[in-house]
Amino acid sequence: MHGPAALQLTSEGRLKHLLTTEGLSKALITELLNTAESFLSSQGQPVKKAPLLRGKTVVNLFFENSTRTRTTFDIAAHRLSADVVTLDIRTSSASKGETLFDTLKNLEAMQADLFVVRHSAGGAPFFIANRVTPNIAVINAGDGTHAHPTQALLDLMTIRKHKGDPANLSVAIVGDVKHSRVARSLIHGLRGMKCPDIRAIGPGTLLPGDLDHLGVRAFHRIDHGLAGVDVIVLLRLQKERMTSALLPSEREFFNLYGMTEDRLKYSRPGAIVMHPGPINRGVEISNEVADGPQAVILDQVTNGIAVRMAVMAMTISTQQDLVS
C-alpha cells in the first residue's frame, strides 16, 4: 500500500484511522455502511446506548468552528458509552502559541484513545495520524478544502438506503465543488463504490480543474447536468474559502443553479435531493424543494450519527488488536 491507504489501513486492509475516502475499497466502504446500519433500530433511529467504547476516551479536537459535525461526533461517542472531551481551542494552549505537535503530546499523556480532528489546514489530521502512538485512532472531521470522509460515508449510506447500490446510479453534485471538501470526499467514495456516472454542475469558476482525472463529467448548464440523474447533492457557496469574487451574486447563482421544483423535473422521477448543511434557502435550494418529499436532508443527519459510531467502533477495535 502507498499514499493515504498506507497510513489509515493495516496491511490486512482494516481501518486504523479514517483520514480520507480516497482509495477505500468497495468492500471496506460496504463494511462501514453495514456496521452503521447495525446501529439503527428498525424504526430508523440510532440505538441510544451501546457498551462498545466503555472506558475509552474520545477527544474532539476542533481547530475550526463546527456545530453539526462536532455535535454528531459527540452524540455518537456517548452512544458508544465513551468518555468525551471537547477541547475549546479558543481557550486552549494552542491559542497561546502552543504547536500542534505539543498539543498532541499533551493529549496523549492524558491517555486518550481517539482523536476527532477538524482543522482549517489541509493535511492536519494526516500530520497527527503520522505522529500519534500506535494505540490512538484518528478520525478526520474535515481539513481545509481537502477531505471530510465521514460526511461522504453518511451521504453514501443515505444514497444506498433510498436508491440502492451506487454502482447502478447517476449522481450530480451541484454548486461550489471547487472549495468543497465534502464534494471531493464524496467523489472518491462514489468511485470506490463503482458509481458509473458522477457529474459536477456549476459555473467554471466554481468547478475544479481536475474533474476529468477524478472521473467526473462537468456541466455548466443545470438542465443538461440533471438530465436523468438519480441523486442530486447540493453544496453551499464556500464564501469563507474563496480568495476573490467568483460569481456576481447569490441571487444570480440561484437564478442559474438554485434547485427549484421546475429544475428537479429534469432528473429521474423519484430522484433524491441531498445537502450536507447548513442549507441556504433561496441560494442553492428553494423552500419548496428543501421541505418537499424528495429531500432527504434530515435523514442524512440521522445517518451521520450511525456512521460516526461505526467509524469510531471500527478504528478503536483495530487499534486494540494492533497493540494486543
Beta pairing class for 231-234 and 137-143: unpaired
Catalytic residue among 2, 96, 213, 243: 96
Catalytic-residue membership of 118: yes
| Cβ atoms of residues 141 and 66 within 8 Å | yes
Tally: H helices and E strands in the chain? 12, 9
In whole angstroms, give the CA distance from residue 249 to residue 56. Answer: 48
Phi–psi pair at 119, nearest 5 degrees: -150, 145
Q: Is 181 tagged catalytic?
A: no
From the candidates 17, 56, 79, 118, which is the catalytic residue?
118
Measured CA to CA, the distance from residue 310 to residue 108 in angstroms comes to 23
Is residue 96 part of the annotated active site? The answer reads yes
From the candidates 20, 21, 69, 145, which is the catalytic residue?
A: 69
| 170-174 vs 231-234, strand pairing mode | parallel
Which among 68, 217, 221, 251 is annotated as catalytic? 68
Show the cell assigned to 63: 481547530
- Which of the residues 17, 79, 148, 199 is marked catalytic? 148
In order of 107, 129, 145, 236, the CA distances from 133 in angstroms are: 11, 9, 27, 37
Catalytic residue numbers?
Answer: 68-69, 96, 118, 148
